[in-house]
């Protein structure tokens, strides 16, 4: 794990301390395409990836759709993102390795600082590490591979026995016509992992992918495709970070998860991109009969985020749980939330989110629950609580519920406010100092979410939040 | 058919959800006035200008310390009602839009000075298409109590925007509705808190039957500086038949930390316990639905402060 700094207790709430992530290496030997988005650039990427023909055609189609699509009008401004200045493909000077000691020194050092190799040794079944546009390391423990679990980089899988499986699923759950940045992803995607868990297999120890974007002015467009067959279990952890630059970076990755009958997939994310990052990621899961998807999400980074993991409950009895915490500090506008589409009877979804905003940060919770005609006897519970730590911040809650059958039960609640003086007074009357009282309240506010985060991977994140929040506010 | 967008949400969201606004039919009608409304209703500026230009404004002025009661019965056409209340005045205003096949376009603007009180009861029943906008601004300690009943119309839209500008200004609205057949009801309630310690409360309850459609947008906006303000919003919808389409988006926008805001929404069928209780009392399905529907309306009617109109409504319900 990254070395946890001893942080002094403070008397004011600072932003999340990103110093441990804000280091960078100048990779002079990296191969880069030109900035911008043209047919030639798409062809160059496709050639670099040695794409099969259908993938090359998909990329071209993606560019076509991208050029015809419009920018979203409903969310935070992304005027600062100029695609003409974004380099969509940066290849470090190394191939993918299966042993950390073979990874080039500077890249290995990067991941050592982030604690990834240590985490793999301690508590993970497999790791994929992506540096700029390519995976530099991928490995899965033998005992997991022996169960028939496939965890490999997506490009290898495309050129192997899984090509047809990938073709049947790739960008079917997130079609490129979904929105402009899904189309962009289709055109320039690179890196990412393919996971297949066979029937009846329970992967007890998590698999993890970590994404590091090192190059300034670059984009990362990894694609994660997870197929979990019936009666199986998988916990997948995703982490990301980047050093801060004065130019914009872009993350427009895509995650597609297929959850088989009676299977459970837990997808945990700790997002800590730097404050120059535009995070326009798309994640979607389709859940079959009796299956369950659990989204655990911690969003702490980025300059601007559009992030709404979506669950499509396609089979009878399918379930979705979404638990998240979002912390928007100075200069951040984090528009996050989730969507659940109920398409079958007896489905249920549970959404529980916390958001904290401070400085001139803005935290926007945006959700959509759609219960279609066939989704009779479905149940939905949405709870969103927002805490504003000072008068400069902003917090919005925009939950939509479109209900198209009479037999379902939907409940929603949300609240917004600041730390209660009564609660502080109560604690102080019990001998707790004012600073400690406020810190305790804020920690408690996020606790029911932070305890769901994967501690074996995000331990330093939880500690950072707890320690940074410890102290008086305002 | 020409139309414009009205009832637009203050903070819009994904367009595929088809909830950001709705359409209003524009009909040919001569412009009779150049008066521009000073306030903007929840239906939007486009609606306000369109209606005001085609209406002969009805001015209602209530002077310092005085009390008035006004009832307006509207059946189609264009209507612009401009209310000005001086300090410490009180107005009971009833706007009854009913029994009309012609489109009704109604704009009500109310400006309340300090300590003024407005009780405004709006009922829409048995209409073809009715488009209504309400705009209000409240001064220090001014109070607006609204009672809104939507009881049938081919297409009914209502856009309310209340600006709580003054210190300790208050707004509370009780809303009841029943939709049936292929009726469409579109509601947009926006409350903007500017004044310190301003308070608002919106309580919406309704029943949907057959293949009716309803959209409810409820936005609470705490503007920086409104310290100590509180707002609550609650919607409860009972869905009776399989063909109904319900859309709800209760929204809170906030740029002020020292506030308390909450909203809740519950959508679903008649509770099993409620149904069992009523069945055990010998009620059949139709009677249960009728009882539950009436309850949603009575929840508003019983709180109406105008006894005369309240009795009239109760009588109509009992006879209906």
pLDDT per position as a tens digit, B193-251: 999 999 999 999 999 999 999 999 999 999 999 999 999 999 999 999 999 999 999 99
Cα A139 to Cα A48, A121, B90, distances in angstroms: 22, 11, 76
Residues in A closer than 8 angstroms to B263, CB to CB, are 397, 412-415
d(CA B263, CA B284): 34
Strand locations in B180-306, DSSP E?
184-193, 199-208, 213-222, 229-239, 245-254, 259-268
Q: What percent of chain B has pLDDT over 90?
A: 87
8 Å CB contact of B246 and A408: no
Strand A277-279, strand B259-268: pairing:
unpaired
pTM of the predicted model over 0.80: yes
8 Å CB contact of B258 and A409: no
8 Å CB contact of B239 and A395: no
DSSP structure class, residue A218: B
Closest Cβ opposite residue A391 in set B15, B224, B251? B224
SS3 state at A344: coil
Residues in B closer than 8 angstroms to A407, CB to CB, are 242, 269
Closest Cβ opposite residue A399 in set B224, B240, B250? B250
pLDDT digits (tens, 9 = 90+) for B137-178: 999 999 999 999 999 999 999 999 999 999 999 999 999 999
d(CA A142, CA A150): 11
d(CA A345, CA A202): 26
- Whether A337 contacts A366, CB under 8 Å: yes
8 Å CB contact of B242 and A406: yes
Continuous segment of H or E residues that includes residue B68: strand B67-74
Mean pLDDT, rounded, for B100-116: 94
- Whether A327 contacts A362, CB under 8 Å: no
8 Å CB contact of A394 and B13: no
Residues in B closer than 8 angstroms to A416, CB to CB, are 222, 252, 254, 259-262
Burial B101-139, CB ≥16 within 10 A → b, else e:
eebbbbbbbbbbbbbbbbbbbbbbbebebbbbbbbbbbb
**A–B: how many Cβ contacts below 8 A?**
133
More confident residue, B317 or B155: B155
Residues in A closer than 8 angstroms to B11, CB to CB, are 396, 398
Mutation target vs A (from B215, B267, B271, B273; most A CBs, 10 A cutoff) = B267
Cα A355 to Cα A69, A162, A317, A350, B165, distances in angstroms: 31, 40, 30, 17, 28
Continuous segment of H or E residues that includes residue B276: helix B272-280
8 Å CB contact of B263 and A400: no
8 Å CB contact of B262 and A416: yes
Q: What is the pLDDT of residue B153?
A: 93
Q: Quick check: B12 contacting A, CB < 8 Å?
A: yes
8 Å CB contact of B242 and A373: yes
Q: Quick check: B251 contacting A, CB < 8 Å?
A: yes
More confident residue, A12 or B258: B258
Q: Quick check: B231 contacting A, CB < 8 Å?
A: no
The shortest C-alpha distance from B13 to chain A (Å) reads 5
d(CA A279, CA A22): 17
DSSP structure class, residue A417: E
Closest CA to A350 of A369, A376, A334, A326: A369
8 Å CB contact of A408 and B252: no
Q: Quick check: B206 contacting A, CB < 8 Å?
A: no
B258 → chain A, closest CA residue: A418
Closest CA to A91 of A39, A143, A50: A50
d(CA A24, CA B262): 44
8 Å CB contact of A411 and B265: yes
The shortest C-alpha distance from B159 to chain A (Å) reads 18
Closest Cβ opposite residue B14 in set A368, A412, A474? A368
SS3 state at B78: strand
Mutation target vs A (from B202, B257, B264; most A CBs, 10 A cutoff) = B257
Count of all residues that appear for chain A in the document: 474
Provide the pLDDT confidence category of residue B74 given band limits of 50, 70 and 90: very high
Residues in B closer than 8 angstroms to A402, CB to CB, are 17, 19, 245-247
d(CA B38, CA A65): 45
Closest CA to A144 of A160, A123, A162: A123
Continuous segment of H or E residues that includes residue A196: strand A193-197
Q: What is the pLDDT of residue B244?
A: 96
B223 → chain A, closest CA residue: A394
The structure tokens 């057959």 sit at: B210
The shortest C-alpha distance from A336 to chain B (Å) reads 12
8 Å CB contact of B253 and A399: no
Residues in A closer than 8 angstroms to B244, CB to CB, are 404-406
* ipTM for the predicted complex: 0.94
C-alpha radius of gyration, chain A, whole number: 22
C-alpha radius of gyration, chain B, whole number: 19
Closest CA to B193 of B210, B172, B169, B177: B169
Closest Cβ opposite residue A406 in set B241, B250, B254? B241
pLDDT < 70 positions in chain A: 1-29, 439, 448-450, 452-474
Strand locations in A245-393, DSSP E?
249-251, 254-259, 264-272, 277-279, 282-287, 292-299, 304-307, 310-313, 319-328, 333-342, 348-357, 362-371, 379-388
Closest Cβ opposite residue A414 in set B241, B245, B252? B252
Closest Cβ opposite residue B246 in set A394, A403, A407? A403
Closest CA to B47 of B82, B20, B9, B8: B8
CA angle centred on A400, ends A398 and A401, rounded to 5°: 150
């Amino acid at each position: 794990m990254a070395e946890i700094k001893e942080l002094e207790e403070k008397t004011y709430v600072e932003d999340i301390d990103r110093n441990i992530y804000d280091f960078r290496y100048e990779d002079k030997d990296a191969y880069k395409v030109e900035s911008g988005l043209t047919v030639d650039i798409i062809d160059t990427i496709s050639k670099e990836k040695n794409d099969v023909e259908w993938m090359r055609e998909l990329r071209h189609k993606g560019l076509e759709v991208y050029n015809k699509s419009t920018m979203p009008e409903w969310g935070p401004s992304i005027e600062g993102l100029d695609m003409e200045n974004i380099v969509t493909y940066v290849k470090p000077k190394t191939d993918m390795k299966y042993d950390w000691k073979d990874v080039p020194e500077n890249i290995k050092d990067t991941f050592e600082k982030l604690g990834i190799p240590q985490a793999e040794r301690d508590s993970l079944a497999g790791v994929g590490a992506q540096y700029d546009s390519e995976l530099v390391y991928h490995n899965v423990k033998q005992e997991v591979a022996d169960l028939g679990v496939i965890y490999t980089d997506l490009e290898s899988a495309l050129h192997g026995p899984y090509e047809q499986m990938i073709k049947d699923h790739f960008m079917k759950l997130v079609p490129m016509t979904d929105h402009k940045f899904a189309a962009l992803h289709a055109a320039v995607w690179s890196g990412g992992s393919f996971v297949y868990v066979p029937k009846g297999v329970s992967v007890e120890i998590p698999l993890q992918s970590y994404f590091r974007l090192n190059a300034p002015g670059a984009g990362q467009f990894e694609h994660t495709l997870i197929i979990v067959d019936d009666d199986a279990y998988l916990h997948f952890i995703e982490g990301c970070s980047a050093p801060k630059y004065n130019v914009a970076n872009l993350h427009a990755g895509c995650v597609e998860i297929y959850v088989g009958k009676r299977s459970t997939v837990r997808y945990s994310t700790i997002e800590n991109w730097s404050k120059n990052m535009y995070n326009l990621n798309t994640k979607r899961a389709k859940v079959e009969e009796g299956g369950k998807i659990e989204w655990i999400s911690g969003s702490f980074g980025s300059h601007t985020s559009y992030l709404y993991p979506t669950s499509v409950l396609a089979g009878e009895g399918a379930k979705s749980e979404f638990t998240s915490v979002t912390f928007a500090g100075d200069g951040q506008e984090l528009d996050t939330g989730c969507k659940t589409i109920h398409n079958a009877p007896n489905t249920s979804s549970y959404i529980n989110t916390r958001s904290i905003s401070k400085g001139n940060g803005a935290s926007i919770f945006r959700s959509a629950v759609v219960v279609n005609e066939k989704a009779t006897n479905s149940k939905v519970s949405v709870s969103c609580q927002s805490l504003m730590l000072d008068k400069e911040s902003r917090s919005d809650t925009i939950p939509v519920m479109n209900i198209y059958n009479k037999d379902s039960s939907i409940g929603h609640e949300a609240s917004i406010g600041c730390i209660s003086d009564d609660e502080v007074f109560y604690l102080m009357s019990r001998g707790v100092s004012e600073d400690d009282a406020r810190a305790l309240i804020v920690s408690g506010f996020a606790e029911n979410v932070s305890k769901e985060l994967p501690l074996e991977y995000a331990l330093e994140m939880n500690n950072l939040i707890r320690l940074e929040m410890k102290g008086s506010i305002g | 058919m020409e139309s414009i967008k009205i009832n637009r949400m203050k903070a819009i969201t994904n367009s595929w959800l088809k909830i950001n606004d709705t359409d209003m039919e524009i009909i040919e009608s001569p412009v009779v006035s150049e008066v521009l409304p000073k306030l903007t209703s929840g239906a939007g500026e486009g609606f306000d200008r369109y209606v005001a230009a085609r209406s002969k404004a009805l001015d209602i002025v209530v002077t310092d310390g005085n009390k008035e009661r006004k009832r307006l019965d509207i059946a189609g056409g264009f209507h612009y009602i401009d209310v000005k209340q001086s300090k410490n005045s009180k107005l009971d205003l009833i706007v009854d839009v009913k029994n009309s096949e012609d489109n009704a376009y109604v704009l009500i603007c109310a400006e309340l000075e300090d300590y003024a009180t407005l009780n405004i009861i709006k009922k829409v029943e048995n209409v073809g298409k009715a488009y209504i906008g309400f705009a209000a601004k409240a001064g220090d300690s001014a109070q607006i109590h609204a009672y809104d009943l939507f009881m049938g119309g081919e297409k009914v839209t209502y856009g309310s925007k209340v600006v709580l500008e003054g210190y300790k200004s208050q707004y509370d609205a009780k809303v009841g509705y029943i939709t049936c057949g292929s009726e469409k009801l579109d509601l947009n309630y926006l409350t903007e808190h500017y004044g310190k310690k301003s308070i608002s409360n919106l309580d919406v309850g309704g029943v949907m039957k057959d293949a009716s459609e309803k959209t409810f947008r409820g936005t609470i906006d705490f503007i920086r500086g409104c310290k100590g303000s509180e707002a609550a919003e609650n919607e409860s919808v009972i869905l009776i038949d399989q063909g109904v389409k319900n859309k709800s988006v209760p929204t809170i926008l906030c740029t002020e930390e020292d506030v308390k805001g909450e909203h809740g929404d519950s959508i679903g069928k008649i509770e099993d316990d409620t149904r069992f209780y009523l069945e055990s009392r010998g009620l059949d399905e139709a009677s249960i639905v009728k009882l539950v529907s009436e309850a949603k309306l009575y929840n508003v009617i019983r709180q109406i402060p105008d006894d005369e109109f309240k009795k009239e409504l109760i009588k109509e319900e009992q006879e209906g």
